[in-house]
Amino acid sequence: MKYLKDRLSKAPIHIVLIISSIISIFPCYYIIVTAFKDLQEHYNNIYAPPARWTFANIITLYTEYGFLRSTLNSIIVTALSILLALVISTLAGYAYSKMKFKAKEFLFSFTIALTGVPVMIVLIPVYVLASKINMLNSYIGVSFVYATFMLPFCIFLLTSFFRSIPQEPRQGP
């Protein structure tokens, strides 16, 4: 009896969570469903699941638009730039959260404020610079640029989390 009462008292929580989950996934559902419809069916029946599932869209994407190459490029660049950003921002985040040094506040807030620099403004000088040192059209060059665009946010996140770790374990044997 107590068990049932306990279950019932949690029903409102479930209702709230189910409604918010539906709101969260509906657009995603719409994307997936639309991907498997042909154009004709997309106009006739927009939100329901397709009557005839078709893979034509996806096949066209890979055969005619060279999506395989793009996917591969994305994977390489993502892996390289995450690796770079992770190593560099872990080092910096550790220093900003656990160490004392001059100009810490200034450097930290300057670094974080860089998230506010519109990428478009930075791009043109970086492009010119990259062409001067032969870094155009290379995975390494673009990974460094992406990693740097991620850096301010990564440093911010890691510093906040490192700060919540207590000091004591570090001073142990």
Return the closest-CA partner of residue 91 out of 172, 162, 173: 162
Q: Which is nearer to other proteins, 76 or 117 (CB)?
A: 117
Q: Which distant-in-sequence residues (6+ apart) come within 8 Å of 61 by Cβ? A: 67
CA–CA dist 47, 99 (Å, integer): 55
Q: CB of 98 within 8 A of CB of 162? A: yes
Kindly tell me which of 77 and 122 has the beta carbon lying closer to other proteins. Answer: 122
Minimum distance, C-beta of residue 70 to other proteins, in the bound complex (Å): 14
Q: Tell me which residues touch other proteins (CB under 8 A).
A: 10, 13-14, 16-18, 20-21, 23-25, 27-28, 30-31, 46-47, 87-89, 91-92, 94-96, 99-101, 104-118, 120-122, 124-126, 129, 144-145, 147-149, 151-152, 155-156, 160, 163-164
Q: Compute the least distance from the CB of residue 66 to other proteins, in Å.
A: 19
Least distance to other proteins, CB of residue 97, Å: 11
CA distances from 29 to 32, 49, 166 (A): 5, 9, 43
Choose between 26 and 62: whose C-beta lies nearer to other proteins. 26
Q: Which is nearer to other proteins, 22 or 76 (CB)?
A: 22
Write down the least CB distance from residue 43 to other proteins, Å: 11
